[in-house]
Amino acid sequence: MRIVLILLSLYFNLSALTLEEAEEKARNENKDILIQKSIKEIQKTNHQSIKAKNYGSFDLISSYTKYDSARTLKPLAPPISSSTATSRGITNIGASYTVVLFNGFNDIKEIEISKIQNEIQETLLTLTLNQILYNVRAIYLDILSLKKQKDAKEEYKKALNILKNNITKEVNLGKRAKVEELKVDASLQDTITQINILESNINILKSSLAVLINKEEDFELSDISGEREAKVENKLLGKNSYFDKIAKLSAYKISEFNYQKATNEYKKSKSSYYPKITANTQYLKVYSNDGDDDKIWQAGLSLYWNIFDFGKTSSFVQKAKIVQNQASFELEKSKLELKQKIIEAISKIEQNSDLYLGASKEFLFTSESEKIEKIRYEQEAIDIYTYLYAKSSNAIVKSKKILAKYNLLKSYYYFDYILEESE
């Protein structure tokens, strides 16, 4: 039986999901990332469509008209000969090419705006990937932290069971008071409740992680590698050295792209003040109901110029200018917010580093205290309450140390997320 349990344990350890595997699954299978990739491809297609619009369009055209009196097959300059073919039913079949020659640089700005939108979608994909990877790492560490805390509680529970059995024997022999057995039993039940709560929280977090990595079947997690765990020993540079990286961060780039887009939208809006010139050429084959036919070729230019629209265009331009100013403010705000996030991330690392150091030293103290109090209890120098308090304190501090360690590691991952170094 013991061999079977060992083999099962080895199997689950070998098949457990590593953090690296979870990250890889998130990169390839996370639905938010796949959606963002689709949006990016849609924008690329849209950009190609906008560029193609500048080359105009070829169209096949055809019509049939029934007149109340005979007409010539095509327009003719007078005088018109009596031998000219006419018909009351005329069919036109041909091709047309139309292209805009000038529209106040509207199309040029539209292409530039579309190109910027491509850059925005590319940057949003990077931002989304970075966010998802941080979420995967944070949840993964939270699960490991809870599992370690649960393991510590299980050890404490096991020790309480042994203690309870010993006390029960001594109570039956009249060496201990019944109240000591009740006290241990109460501590045992409280520990079982805490274990159940931890197990419930682990399952909730695992379901959240499953969504991020698109994994439907149940899974176990491996502990993090030594290289990853070594992050807790990392040393940070001065804040200013990290501020220099802000201009390269996706969150800042998106604000920058939005400002460039708004600037081009403003320039595009002023194209309405200019005329629109369009060129068109047609070739038609004309047929009559009487069997005659002819052909028409024509080419021409058309100009459309809005000279007065009761302030509609000027209002549109003013609105675009306001949007540009707003984008400028958003760009400045983005820089300040990223500075604040960097400061916050560094502060979290410093705080969690102090908490981890404090918890580590406290655990050394409570571990020694528990050993001493156990000896004293066995020698009947102290009561069960004092011993259980020491044992409980050590278990609590052990969980506190575990939590502090993973919180410190998580704060480093948060810092990587802010600086977009998750890759």
Number of domains in the chain: 1
Please tell me the distance from the alpha carbon of residue 170 to that of residue 176, in angstroms, as a whole number. 5
- Side-by-side strand order, sheet with 86-102: 57-72, 86-102, 276-288, 293-304
Tokens of 413: 């991952």
Whole-Å CA distances, 412 to 22, 96, 218, 222, 243: 18, 64, 28, 20, 17
Phi-psi region of 232 (alpha: psi -120 to 50; beta: other; left: phi over 0): alpha
Decide if 293 contacts 91 (C-beta within 8 A).
no
Residue 10 resides in a domain: no
Query: Which is nearest to 202 in space by CA: 222, 221, 187?
Result: 221
Q: Output the domain CATH number for residue 224.
A: 1.20.1600.10
The greatest distance separating any two alpha carbons of the chain, rounded to the nearest whole angstrom, comes to 139
- CB 353, CB 377: distance < 8 Å: no
Residue 409: both structure tokens together: 């590691």
Q: How many CB atoms lie within 10 A of CB 200?
A: 11
Distances (CA, A) of 284 to 95, 201, 234, 274: 7, 76, 77, 33
pTM here? 0.82
Residue 183: predicted pLDDT:
87
Check residue 261 and give its pLDDT.
Answer: 95
Residue 89 lies in a domain: no
Q: Look at residue 307 and tell me if it is in a domain.
A: no
Residue 238: the pLDDT is 64
Q: What is the pLDDT of residue 190?
A: 93
Would residue 148 count as lying in a domain? Answer: yes
In a domain, 284, yes or no: no
Q: Which domain holds residue 197?
A: 15-55+104-275+312-418
Q: Are 201 and 218 in contact (CB under 8 A)?
A: no
The tens-digit pLDDT sequence of the chain (423 residues) is 555 445 455 444 446 899 999 999 999 999 999 999 999 999 999 999 999 998 999 999 999 989 888 887 777 766 666 677 778 888 899 999 999 999 988 999 999 999 999 999 999 999 999 999 999 999 999 999 999 999 999 988 988 888 888 888 888 888 778 888 888 889 899 999 999 999 999 999 999 999 999 988 888 999 887 666 666 666 566 667 889 899 999 999 999 999 999 999 999 999 989 999 999 999 999 888 877 888 889 999 999 999 898 999 999 999 999 999 999 999 999 999 999 999 999 999 999 999 999 999 999 999 999 999 989 988 888 887 888 888 888 988 999 999 999 999 999 999 999 998 876
Contacts of 392 (CB under 8 A, 6+ apart): 156, 187
pLDDT of residue 10: 47
Q: Residue 325 domain-assigned?
A: yes
Taking alpha carbons only, the member of 3, 2, 17, 1 closest to residue 147 is: 17
The pLDDT of residue 415 is 92
Q: List the structure tokens of 376.
A: 């004293």
CA angle 156, 157, 162 (to 5 degrees): 100
C-alpha to C-alpha distance for 305 and 307, rounded to whole angstroms: 6
Q: Cβ contacts of residue 172 below 8 Å, gap of 6+?
A: none
Contact 271, 80 (CB under 8 A): no
| pLDDT given for residue 226 in this prediction | 67
Q: Quick one: which of 198, 221, 225, 229 has its CA closest to 410?
A: 229
Q: Would you state the pLDDT for residue 264?
A: 95
Could you tell me if residue 93 is inside a domain?
no
